[in-house]
């Protein structure tokens, strides 16, 4: 059954598929708007409206799975995701794989006298169409673009009609294959965007192109069709609720006219930005010479001005903006490139939750509803013509530019057009964009310098600094290439210090938003990322939030802490109940944000609870800080604030979305250790036995053996159960030569002293009467090192989970320390190899920052570890990585558990860690180190 729309007054502009059809004459008014005068374009959907709402067509696939027989297929869709054909990644063509579609439909008899178009929003890749056995027109080539046929004379009104479509997965035009099918991404086939019939009056408005400037100057180019006699075009601007803005204005059109331009000026319009996405609508009506309305048309738009000021930056409405963005493929594991407003909204909300304000359409124009939602929710957009390192020839490329720009021209979210990517641009097409864009947006060549903007990809930190000292604006359209757990957030803190502010800085776009993992129907739904080619995302294929999500959210928050001191997880001694903050918004004053504080106490080891308990909370008065300025936030804490374990501060934007949450620990490691490591009154004294194996200290049912030849822990028994924590502490880097061991009673405890030469100098063990084992060690190290500290062994197979007080819940690297929060966290053991199937987040293994205490749950009972000093990194085992991690991997020390003072940085796909900035350099040891860790075994 076809889906019919006579008008769209009842449809929400938020994500209606029809909204994207307005560029070719479909009327869309706001929910409360008045309908424009005159007949409206009517739409009959032949497929479903999107991937969430499909219609079955007859289908025949010529090769691969499900081929050789007629069946049915949901449309719109990619046929690989429906059980047909062959999965293939870019550069591995499947010649001869075609899909043949059949569908019958009935055209309303009331459409007599109307001009009827058959509209395809997108089909991969070559498309041939027949209506009632007659070709609808020439074969369309290009998989990501709207195309249409005038089928007025081919359809039978009020009767059944037959639509036949053949879609070839590979194009017969070599340059189309070069531009679209040779890219570094999955290739799909099929009618993956909607197909509709659209009926307009014979004399009608074909499309419009709007130029609405921040000054209030408004111009609209109205394309006309079928103007057999003189008439008039009238425009009324309205808010989305239908309220008129200014007076209507009009222009006469002569017989045979195909275009007219109308202009007006609006006083003090509300301006569109990514922070304030205010939209208007232009109600356009075509009248005949007698003043009778013939056709009505409504188009959304926003007042805003985009400038590229050479050698300076990108400006919106007269203010410099910094683009904080990512590259997005239209992709879902079970749908391929077929999408829906629901999925589009989910991705936009995801990006905005990361405090992004921009997105690049890599590497093709998206669904029209995605751009509608960018307009509505507020994202700056780079809209891209396909061409990944290879280009379209001019003959096939020119109509694709026309299709893309005429469809997308009225979206205020679009700041730039991209002509291909990484050499995939045909310079002969550069001036075509302006033919259809009265705003004359700049055209970019992503990967090089064009239009005064250097968009170079995957520059090192040092080369980025060098470029910023040059003459061009710097805005990399791809940087910090994610792979598994590397890149994306790792290194961003340093890059953003230079890309996020200063002369010629305009921001940049991280590669990429999602891991492109296909749920393979021929492999039981297993996720396939083709090795290391597709797991590049900040989030997983089903939008699982990985650690870099939170790092980016923190670094790109428009409200930032003014001093690095405040990013420490403990308070500076000078804290006076105020926090200095920087407003990194481009247009929003912080008085529009909300600041809420809370004093909390953390859960304690052994309790069933995790997280924290709020003991006091309040809302601070929002400070008046202009964009770009620094000011103070007075929290208004009670005098008793120092009695809490920690202070939390959350800032939300004017819509209530959380921008940042900070948690500062008031109580230090020593405070928690003093609270947890306490003697047991009345417990019997600790004794010791020395034999050929070493010294065994005994406290009640706890027995701890220190090896007499190494000074290391060699055995633990608690309540008759052996605990397999052994062979430590061993230096994580460097040497330790054992020189001797002594032991003696120490009040209610027993001490075993082990001495060494080399990097590790001494270890003092002490078991107290309550069963707490103290490990106090000293080492000396200078120079560069991947990691600093000591290791111990524990069998990974015996581990079941971890509960800990420290930064979490995600693991960290030296160059990805932001985005984690102090709290009591818990996670079950998992062996997730990042980039593999069966992802589980957060990953269990790796480096964990600022650990105060940790309960390791094992098959041998609980092992409790407590730090006596600040800044301890707890390392848990060595994570696996996916295939060919390139530079997106880090070294790990020996053993399974480590207590560290320094950890390594991680690289991204293309660059090793040491090229990603100051935070990514190796640790530099500075001499003597001393640390104490307590252990308790069992309850």
Edge to edge, what strands does the sheet with 244-253 contain?
39-40, 293-301, 280-288, 231-239, 244-253
DSSP structure class, residue 883: S
- Exposure string of 437-450, with b = 16+ CB inside 10 Å and e = fewer, is bbbebbbbbbbebb
pLDDT tier at 365, thresholds 50, 70, 90: very high
Looking at the predicted structure, is the pLDDT value of residue 566 above 90?
no
- Exposure string of 77-100, with b = 16+ CB inside 10 Å and e = fewer, is bbbbbbebbbbbbbeeebeebbbe
Cβ pair 881, 888 in contact under 8 A: yes
Query: 17 in the Ramachandran plot: left (φ > 0), alpha (ψ -120 to 50) or beta?
Result: alpha
Q: How far apart are CA 249 and CA 245, in angstroms?
A: 11
Q: Which of residues 129 and 569 earns the better pLDDT score?
A: 129
The H or E element spanning position 822 is strand 821-828
Q: Which of residues 535 and 36 earns the better pLDDT score?
A: 535
Q: Please say whether the dihedral angle defined by the alpha carbons of residues 342, 344, 348 and 353, taken in this order, is positive or negative.
A: positive
Lookup: tokens for 16: 């209606």
Q: If you search the block for the tokens 């089903």, which residue do you land on?
A: 542
Lookup: tokens for 724: 């397999």
Q: Where are the alpha helices (DSSP H) in 727-861?
A: none
pLDDT tier at 568, thresholds 50, 70, 90: low
Query: 125 in the Ramachandran plot: left (φ > 0), alpha (ψ -120 to 50) or beta?
Result: alpha
Backbone angles phi, psi at 829, to 5 degrees: -60, 135
Residue closest to 286 by CA, chosen among 269, 298, 303, 300: 298
Under DSSP, is residue 637 helix (H, G, I), strand (E, B) or coil?
Answer: coil
pLDDT tier at 569, thresholds 50, 70, 90: low
Looking at the predicted structure, is the pLDDT value of residue 477 above 50?
yes
Cβ pair 882, 834 in contact under 8 A: yes
> What pLDDT does residue 681 have?
81
Lookup: tokens for 31: 């929910």
Instruction: Please compute the mean of the pLDDT values over residues 441-465 and round it to a whole number.
Output: 98
Residue closest to 90 by CA, chosen among 188, 170, 186: 186
Looking at the predicted structure, is the pLDDT value of residue 836 above 90?
no
Residue closest to 405 by CA, chosen among 448, 441, 357: 441
Q: Give the pairing type, strands 231-239 and 760-767.
A: unpaired
Q: If you search the block for the tokens 């999925």, which residue do you land on?
A: 343
> What pLDDT does residue 251 have?
97
> What pLDDT does residue 810 have?
97
Task: Indicate the angle between helix axes 368-377 and 341-353, nearest 10 degrees.
Answer: 40
- Exposure string of 195-205, with b = 16+ CB inside 10 Å and e = fewer, is bbbbbbbebbb
Surface-to-core class of residue 567, CB atoms within 10 Å of its CB (0-12 exposed, 13-18 middle, 19+ buried): middle
Lookup: tokens for 703: 């027995």
Q: Where are the beta strands (DSSP E) in 666-759?
A: 687-691, 694-699, 702-707, 713-718, 721-723, 726-731, 736-746, 749-758
Q: How far apart are CA 714 and CA 628, in angstroms?
A: 58
Q: How far apart are CA 805 and CA 818, in angstroms?
A: 17
> What pLDDT does residue 12 have?
28
DSSP structure class, residue 22: G
> What pLDDT does residue 834 have?
54
Q: What is the pLDDT of residues 737-790, one digit of tens each?
A: 999 999 999 988 999 999 999 999 999 999 999 999 999 999 999 999 999 999
Lookup: tokens for 470: 């040059």
pLDDT tier at 679, thresholds 50, 70, 90: confident
Q: Give the pairing type, strands 518-520 and 526-528.
A: antiparallel
Q: What is the pLDDT of residues 291-345, one digit of tens each?
A: 999 999 999 999 999 999 999 999 999 999 999 999 999 999 999 999 999 999 9
Find all residues with CB under 8 Å of 750, minimum gap 6, and list them: 686, 687, 688, 697, 699, 743, 744, 766, 767
> What pLDDT does residue 7 have?
33
Cβ pair 412, 304 in contact under 8 A: yes
Find all residues with CB under 8 Å of 175, minimum gap 6, and list them: 390, 391, 392, 393, 396, 397
Q: How far apart are CA 569 and CA 661, in angstroms?
A: 12
Give the side-chain half-sphere CA count within 13 A for 608. Answer: 0
Mean pLDDT over the full length of the chain: 94
Looking at the predicted structure, is the pLDDT value of residue 8 above 50?
no
pLDDT tier at 181, thresholds 50, 70, 90: very high
> What pLDDT does residue 748 have?
85
Backbone angles phi, psi at 21, to 5 degrees: -85, -5
Lookup: tokens for 238: 């309205």
Backbone angles phi, psi at 676, to 5 degrees: -95, -40
Q: How far apart are CA 338 and CA 527, in angstroms?
A: 17
Q: How far apart are CA 804 and CA 796, in angstroms?
A: 18
Cβ pair 804, 855 in contact under 8 A: yes
Looking at the predicted structure, is the pLDDT value of residue 501 above 60?
yes
Q: If you search the block for the tokens 């009056």, which residue do you land on?
A: 201
Lookup: tokens for 824: 């009591």
Residue closest to 381 by CA, chosen among 412, 404, 403: 412
Q: How far apart are CA 259 and CA 221, in angstroms?
A: 7
The H or E element spanning position 146 is none
Cβ pair 703, 696 in contact under 8 A: yes
> What pLDDT does residue 606 have?
84
Q: Please say whether the dihedral angle defined by the alpha carbons of residues 641, 642, 643 and 644, taken in this order, is positive or negative.
A: positive
> What pLDDT does residue 567 have?
63
Instruction: Please compute the mean of the pLDDT values over residues 788-800 and round it to a whole number.
Output: 98
Q: How far apart are CA 926 and CA 939, in angstroms?
A: 38
Cβ pair 452, 308 in contact under 8 A: yes
Q: Where are the beta strands (DSSP E) in 433-584?
A: 443-444, 449-450, 453-454, 473-474, 507-510, 518-520, 526-528, 559-561, 578-583
Looking at the predicted structure, is the pLDDT value of residue 899 above 90?
yes
Q: How far apart are CA 719 and CA 89, in angstroms?
A: 57
Looking at the predicted structure, is the pLDDT value of residue 4 above 80?
no
The H or E element spanning position 408 is helix 394-408
Q: Say how many C-beta atoms besides its own lie within 10 A of residue 565's C-beta.
A: 12
Cβ pair 372, 13 in contact under 8 A: yes
Lookup: tokens for 413: 């979210």
Lookup: tokens for 586: 């481009």
Cβ pair 853, 804 in contact under 8 A: yes
Q: What is the separation, in whole angstroms, between the first and last Cα of the chain? A: 65
- Exposure string of 668-696, with b = 16+ CB inside 10 Å and e = fewer, is ebeebbeebbeeeeeeeebebeeeeebbb
Backbone angles phi, psi at 590, to 5 degrees: -65, -15
Residue closest to 866 by CA, chosen among 586, 699, 673: 673
């Amino acid at each position: 059954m076809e889906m019919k729309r006579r008008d769209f007054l009842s449809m929400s502009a938020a994500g209606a598929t029809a909204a994207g059809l307005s560029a070719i004459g479909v009327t869309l008014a706001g929910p409360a708007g008045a309908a424009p005068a005159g007949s409206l374009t009517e739409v009959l959907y032949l497929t479903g409206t999107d991937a969430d709402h499909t219609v079955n067509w007859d289908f025949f696939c010529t090769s691969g799975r499900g081929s050789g027989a007629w069946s049915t297929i949901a449309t719109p869709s990619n046929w690989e995701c429906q059980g047909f054909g062959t999965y293939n990644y870019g550069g591995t063509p499947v010649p001869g794989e075609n899909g043949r579609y059949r569908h019958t439909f009935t055209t309303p008899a009331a459409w007599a006298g109307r001009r009827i178009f058959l509209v395809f929003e997108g089909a991969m890749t070559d498309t041939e169409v027949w209506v009632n056995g007659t070709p609808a027109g020439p074969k369309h080539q290009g998989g990501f673009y709207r195309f249409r046929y005038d089928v007025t004379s081919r359809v039978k009104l009020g009767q059944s009609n037959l639509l036949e479509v053949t879609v070839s997965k590979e194009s017969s035009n070599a340059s189309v294959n070069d531009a679209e099918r040779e890219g570094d991404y999955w290739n799909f086939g099929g009618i993956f965007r909607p197909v509709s019939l659209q009926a307009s009056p014979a004399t009608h408005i074909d499309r419009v192109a709007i130029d609405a400037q921040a000054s209030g100057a408004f111009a609209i180019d109205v394309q006309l069709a079928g103007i057999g006699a003189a008439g008039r075009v009238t425009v009324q601007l309205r808010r989305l609720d239908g309220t008129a803005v200014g007076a209507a204005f009009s222009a006469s059109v002569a017989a045979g006219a195909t275009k007219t331009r109308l202009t007006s000026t609006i006083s003090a319009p509300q301006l569109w930005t990514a922070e304030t996405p205010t939209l208007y609508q232009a109600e356009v009506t075509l009248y005949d010479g007698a003043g009778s309305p013939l056709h009505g048309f409504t188009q959304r738009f926003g007042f805003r001005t985009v400038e590229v000021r050479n050698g300076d930056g990108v400006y919106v409405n007269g203010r410099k903006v910094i683009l904080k963005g990512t590259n997005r493929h239209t992709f879902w594991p079970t749908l391929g490139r077929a999408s829906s407003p629901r999925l589009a909204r989910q991705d936009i909300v995801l990006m905005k939750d990361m405090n992004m304000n921009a997105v690049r359409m890599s590497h093709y124009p998206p669904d029209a509803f995605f751009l509608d939602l960018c307009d509505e929710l507020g994202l700056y957009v780079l809209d891209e013509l396909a061409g990944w390192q290879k280009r379209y020839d001019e003959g096939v490329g020119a109509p694709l530019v026309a299709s893309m720009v005429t469809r997308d021209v009225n979206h205020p979210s679009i700041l730039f057009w991209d002509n291909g990517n990484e050499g995939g641009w045909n310079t002969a097409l550069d001036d075509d964009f302006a033919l259809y864009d009265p705003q004359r947006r700049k055209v970019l060549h992503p990967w090089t310098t064009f239009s005064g903007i250097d968009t170079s990809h995957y520059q090192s930190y040092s080369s980025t600094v060098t470029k910023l000292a040059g003459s061009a604006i710097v805005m990399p359209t791809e940087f910090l290439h994610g792979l598994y757990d590397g890149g994306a957030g790792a290194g961003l803190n340093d890059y953003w210090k230079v890309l996020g502010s200063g002369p010629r800085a305009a921001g940049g776009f991280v590669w990429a938003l999602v891991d492109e993992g296909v749920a393979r129907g021929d492999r039981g739904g297993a996720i396939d990322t083709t090795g290391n080619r597709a797991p590049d995302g900040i989030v997983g294929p089903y939008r699982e939030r990985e650690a870099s999500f939170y790092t980016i959210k923190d670094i790109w928050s428009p409200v930032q802490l003014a001093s690095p001191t405040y990013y420490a997880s403990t308070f500076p001694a000078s804290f006076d109940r105020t926090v200095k903050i920087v407003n990194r918004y481009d247009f929003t004053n912080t008085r529009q944000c909300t600041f809420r504080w809370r004093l909390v106490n953390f859960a304690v080891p052994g309790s069933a609870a995790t997280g924290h308990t709020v003991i006091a909370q309040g809302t601070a008065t929002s400070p008046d800080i202009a964009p770009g300025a620094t000011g103070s936030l007075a929290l208004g804490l009670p005098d008793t604030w120092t009695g809490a374990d920690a202070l939390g501060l959350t800032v939300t934007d004017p819509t209530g979305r959380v921008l940042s949450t900070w948690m500062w620990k008031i109580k230090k490691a020593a405070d928690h250790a003093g609270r947890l490591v306490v003697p047991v009154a009345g417990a019997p004294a600790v004794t010791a036995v020395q034999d050929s194996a070493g010294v065994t200290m005994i406290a009640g049912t706890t027995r701890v053996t220190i090896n007499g030849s190494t000074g290391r822990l060699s055995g633990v028994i608690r309540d008759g159960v052996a605990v397999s924590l052994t062979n430590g502490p061993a230096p994580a880097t460097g040497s330790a030569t054992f020189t001797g061991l002594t032991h003696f009673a120490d009040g209610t405890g027993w001490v075993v002293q082990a001495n060494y030469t080399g990097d590790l100098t001494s270890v003092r063990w002490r078991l107290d009467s309550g069963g707490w084992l103290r490990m106090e060690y000293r080492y000396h190290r200078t120079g560069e090192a991947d990691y600093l500290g000591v290791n111990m062994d524990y069998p990974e197979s015996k581990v079941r989970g971890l509960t800990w007080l420290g930064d979490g819940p995600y693991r960290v690297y030296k160059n990805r320390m932001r985005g984690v929060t102090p709290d009591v966290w818990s996670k079950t053991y998992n062996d997730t190899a990042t980039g593999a199937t069966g992802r589980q987040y957060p990953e269990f293994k790796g480096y964990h920052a600022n650990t105060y205490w940790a309960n390791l749950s094992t098959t041998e009972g609980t092992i409790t570890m407590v730090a006596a000093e600040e800044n301890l990194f707890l390392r848990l085992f060595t994570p696996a990585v996916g295939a060919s991690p390139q530079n997106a991997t880090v070294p790990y020390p020996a053993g399974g558990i480590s207590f560290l003072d320094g950890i390594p940085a991680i690289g991204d796909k293309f660059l090793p860690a040491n090229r990603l900035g100051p935070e990514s350099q190796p640790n530099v040891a500075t001499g003597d180190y001393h640390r104490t860790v307590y252990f308790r075994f069992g309850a």
